[in-house]
Structure 1
């Protein structure tokens, strides 16, 4: 025991290993696990319904995989708070596309309740007015509205027109629905990410919807009820980045534009940062250019000059991203199984400018959804993320006796403390729209 201590003490003094590791650990608070699942379980209307779904292969236990998370902190009290998860129906046996996590459990797995209720998820092929078919990602804005990007795709086929739904989270009532015009998507289209741009205390709203297979954006003007398509080469995947390798498991996925978020408002404009998932690059475009419908009226790809790409590259793929009130972005590195931060005000992108803020091979696998959430009661921001053994979902090797899916959370200030990402000087005001409006 004494010799071991002396040897360790020598390494500390001569090599500085101990002090370096402690400092590194202090910079890396591990996001704590809020929820974990071996397999997803749902709040069935009855046991007979569950059995019927299993018999008809509408529910195959162990198949459903959560992709995104968002959180509503109600100003009316904790009993109205909601934690949303999306469950895209890209394979057979997924019964719902969107739900909220409950405190009830089945075999240790938190039970998910369909949102807003079961009726929205039944008989999807009928394309009822009140329907949710398949959802990859959602967004809750600072006006207390939930934006749902329903791609209308069941397994490999678009069975209903893709749509953008808006719910009032105080009442859970539908505020509006907008079907994306047929001319603005293709048979291969998969709409995966909605980014909501709110101005003027909720009176002016645009949505930027990413189509990761047709490599396009649809810009939706909520106030005027119309939309237009935008394309550019920076939306495309890179063939060399189409194979994913995560902890010894590999699969192929050629996804284009997917991860996106907005910087805080700056002199009346904002940059939309974005990345194709199967690519090594980060890009940006001014939202004022995207909102100029006339620019794209005759040609969706008319303006390559407005899109910008950083020179530095990643060594691996990255999916979702989120940006906080200080302009610090957060995203995952797939092969490295890490979470990084990067200040959007930095002159360049890449390892010299970002910093690893969480490194856990068990809990950080495949970060598919990530959000910066404003906790109004505590007056700080939180980082929420969905991680999964998606590589095992992809190759069919998932073991439901293990924890395969997680929702993680950590206070933003604790994540970026003492990192190069941390903004110097006063921070911006809290708020999902970065201080524009508090519900």
Structure 2
């Protein structure tokens, strides 16, 4: 059944009013992994594009946007993905972000539809076309440029809009939240200019829901001022923390991926939270993209506004760096309910894992769960999602970003992908695996499954 799914994926309607994911059985045995990558099941390529296409009402509308250079085919490049499993499993959504750092991008946030255009899955603007038109106008219902998003356990989609159009700060950056049951906006705050600099680029939101949905904090990475902005949703307040651990490393500012080289000095970008345990503190893990290190801070310290409200650099003692290092840069990261972190390895073109019970970088706690020199290039979006069957899935967006950076993208190739796999299958046999009592490895299903 898995092979049938792979062969027929391009012809299937993945979700929509009457459609569902194919239920995929993963009964694949794996060879044990001891510090070297072996044959765990491959991540499934759920979608792939040579170029992004959008859900225009007619070909005339598409051609009009092309004539106006609102849409330049081949220019839009996705960065992130996240998944919403509806309560009845009938209104599931796969989100995709396309930041406007290049011209010709008509939509900055959408959902993957069941439609195809010239062999490419069609992206439907979210929540509607109106939110994406004329971004320079700074209308109340707007999205200018979105790098990353996050779906929380309260059925909300959090959208971080940088407000930057190409190289210009066109509108104030903002944090938005949509009720995914109604698709209506439920939260909107513009980020105070006092916390920003002219070079600020807000790239990653991480949502920390406490005991109740009303008690939510959002941690926002600014990769160019090397800081984390904290938003208390209930109080409507913001503050900023800055530390040397959020800076890029000059020796890691040159990226080499499959023979292409480009320079990028991005600071803090990858962020994820330790599992939530009532009554216990959480860690926010983070790293600069152009660095080899992983860092952490207790969220109780970040949430303490009085620490930082007068001086963002007031508390260097609360930020920590692990001694171990990666061999290469990494962008996005995500952590599962067992405290296993997943992250991309840029030059290696692999997906790594780390058991956070042990030392970062240690061969006893770090491993590789997937290796594919074609499909795993530049993993810029990564989420761990629990489906309605209570299985955790790893969702990854990859791209040939190095070709975009070097202006050598070939539209005859498959350039962008969304991949997915069941977490327990991919960590099985690695040093990252936490074995349940009895030592049994669970099989079962994953995907958007009909209840």
| Same fold, judged at TM 0.5 (above) | yes
Contact persistence 1:282–1:349 (CA under 8 A): no
SS at 1:50 equivalent: helix
Counterparts of residues 122-141 of structure 1 (less than 5 Å): 122-141=133-152
Contact persistence 1:343–1:422 (CA under 8 A): yes
> Which residue of 19, 26, 34 corresponds with 2:46?
34
RMSD, aligned CA: 1.8
Deviation for aligned residue 1:67: 0.5
- Distance of 1:415 and 1:380 partners within structure 2: 13
2:5 corresponds to which residue?
A: none
1:344 corresponds to which residue?
A: 356
Counterparts of residues 102-117 of structure 1 (less than 5 Å): 102-117=113-128
2:418 corresponds to which residue?
A: 407
* More displaced 10-residue stretch of structure 1: 351-360 or 307-316: 351-360
1:326 corresponds to which residue?
A: 338
SS at 1:299 equivalent: coil
Structure 2, unmatched stretches of 5+, are 1-30, 440-451
Deviation for aligned residue 1:27: 4.8
2:270 corresponds to which residue?
A: 259
SS at 1:143 equivalent: coil
- Distance of 1:107 and 1:66 partners within structure 2: 18
Q: Measured at CA, do residues 418 and 128 of structure 1 come closer, stay the same or move farther in structure 2, by a change above 3 Å?
A: same
Contact persistence 1:245–1:251 (CA under 8 A): yes
Deviation for aligned residue 1:301: 0.6
2:290 corresponds to which residue?
A: 278
2:67 corresponds to which residue?
A: 55
Contact persistence 1:27–1:416 (CA under 8 A): no
- Distance of 1:356 and 1:173 partners within structure 2: 40
* More displaced 10-residue stretch of structure 1: 139-148 or 344-353: 344-353
* More displaced 10-residue stretch of structure 1: 241-250 or 199-208: 199-208
1:215 corresponds to which residue?
A: 226
What TM-score does the superposition give when structure 1 sets the normalisation length? 0.90
- Distance of 2:260 and 2:160 partners within structure 1: 30
- Distance of 1:220 and 1:29 partners within structure 2: 39
Structure 1, unmatched stretches of 5+, are 1-18, 428-439
- Distance of 1:31 and 1:290 partners within structure 2: 35
Q: Deviations over 1:40-91 (max 9, x none)?
A: 000013323222221222111111111100000101233x000000000001
> Which residue of 266, 284, 290 corresponds with 2:302?
290
Q: Deviations over 1:136-158 (max 9, x none)?
A: 10000000000000000111011
* Bigger Cα Rg: 1
Counterparts of residues 147-296 of structure 1 (less than 5 Å): 147-266=158-277, 267-296=279-308
Deviation for aligned residue 1:193: 0.3
SS at 2:245 equivalent: helix
Q: Does 1:382 find its partner at 2:393?
A: yes
2:3 corresponds to which residue?
A: none
SS at 1:125 equivalent: helix
- Distance of 1:280 and 1:404 partners within structure 2: 26
Q: Does 1:87 find its partner at 2:98?
A: yes
- Distance of 1:297 and 1:238 partners within structure 2: 27
- Distance of 1:354 and 1:23 partners within structure 2: 8
SS at 1:119 equivalent: helix
What TM-score does the superposition give when structure 2 sets the normalisation length? 0.88
Q: Does 1:73 find its partner at 2:82?
A: no
- Distance of 2:331 and 2:119 partners within structure 1: 29
- Distance of 1:29 and 1:348 partners within structure 2: 24
SS at 1:415 equivalent: helix
Deviation for aligned residue 1:28: 2.2
2:384 corresponds to which residue?
A: 372
Contact persistence 1:245–1:335 (CA under 8 A): yes
2:23 corresponds to which residue?
A: none
Contact persistence 1:232–1:301 (CA under 8 A): yes
- Distance of 1:342 and 1:210 partners within structure 2: 22
More helix by share: 1
Contact persistence 1:27–1:418 (CA under 8 A): no
- Distance of 1:131 and 1:295 partners within structure 2: 33
Deviation for aligned residue 1:189: 0.5
- Distance of 2:360 and 2:54 partners within structure 1: 44
* More displaced 10-residue stretch of structure 1: 152-161 or 348-357: 348-357
SS at 1:392 equivalent: helix
